Amino acid sequence: MANPEKKQEAYQQTMRSKATGRFSWLWSEYSVIIAFLIIFIAASFMSPRFLDLTNQMNILMQVSIIGIVSLGMTVIMLSGGIDLSVGSVLALVGVITVMALNASGSIFAAIITACLVGSFTGFLNGLMVAKGKIASFIATLGMMAAARSIALYTADGGSISGEVSGFSAISNSDLWIIDYPIIIFLIVTALVYILMHHTRFGRYVYAIGSNEKAALLSAIRVDRVKMAVYSLGGLLVSVAAIIETSRLNSISSSSSGMQYELDAIAAVIIGGTRMTGGRGKVIGTFFGVLILGILNNMMNLMNVSPHLQGFVKGLIIIIAVVFQKRE
């Protein structure tokens, strides 16, 4: 007859294992949301101004541009790639958008031009990666240098201003109390979520990021999907460029988009997307962007030197990657 004490001990061990398993699953699936809630609550105690509605809208407004860029970066990283050119492409698209705006006097023509230029640069990245078999890090590093150089040359190294005042309404108008850039960010998030989690294209991207050879053997047209992924990333950079350019009705060829690639990669990694691809969620990136926005806002409210904010972002990236490796 079995010892009752051993039975009890075995039962308790089983229950502890189940509890640990549930916690591990909960943390694995919702870690970024849990982290967001913890940081949000901590921030509300650290500064009484944090919970002001105006401040909350300000945070969402500040993260809207980098949030849209991060969504494109998410799709690219899920495919197993990376895009270091997003900041430079944003500046280039902004410069060409303003030039098209001034030349045509049409806001619609300027927006179409922006989308075409951004999508084309993304397509070139995808072409180099998919057909040229160049590592995404190298291909997009080259595009980063090229796009910034063209932007500087076109704008003579300075800023270029728009001559159509109505263009600024894109970033400076609101629906009730919600600014248009916030609404655009939320709509783009919903569209990318549907694309990645409820379409065949999304499944193909995950498959390529998980195992490219297996995806190729499964009759997935890997090259076409990769080119589409980078083109989509470029298109979303165009949307962000339109918002940034319309905010002041001007764009700086030298400073606009600087270090946006760092912020986008940080948001994506914090959101739980693996650097190697194949695993991650769009909603994770959304909360990752919000976490960065809250941290930046808190450092500003607490008068932390802006020179230290890059250090904080770098530290967060390292911590997020360490946690990913432990999963």
Q: Give mean pLDDT, residues 272-293.
A: 91
Number of domains the chain is built from: 1
Residues 118 and 284 sit within 8 Å (Cβ to Cβ):
no
The 10 Å Cβ neighbour count of residue 158 is: 9
Q: What is the CATH number of the domain that holds 160?
A: 1.10.3470
What Rg value do the Cα atoms of the chain yield, rounded?
A: 22
Residue 1 lies in a domain: no
What tokens appear for 39 in the block? 């940081």
Residue 36 lies in a domain: no
Using one digit for the tens of pLDDT, what is the confidence trace for 208-230? 999 999 999 998 999 999 999 99
Residue 256 domain boundaries:
64-326
Using one digit for the tens of pLDDT, what is the confidence trace for 71-124? 999 999 999 999 999 999 999 999 999 999 999 999 999 999 999 999 999 999
Whether the per-residue pLDDT at 280 is higher than 70: the answer is yes
pLDDT at 224: 96
Residue (of 272, 253, 319) closest to 98 by Cα position: 253
Residues 113 and 96 sit within 8 Å (Cβ to Cβ):
yes
Q: What is the pTM of this model?
A: 0.89
Residue 99 lies in a domain: yes
The 10 Å Cβ neighbour count of residue 203 is: 14
Residues 97 and 110 sit within 8 Å (Cβ to Cβ):
yes
Residue 182 lies in a domain: yes
Residues 136 and 129 sit within 8 Å (Cβ to Cβ):
yes
Residue 33 lies in a domain: no
Residue 31 lies in a domain: no
Residue 34 lies in a domain: no
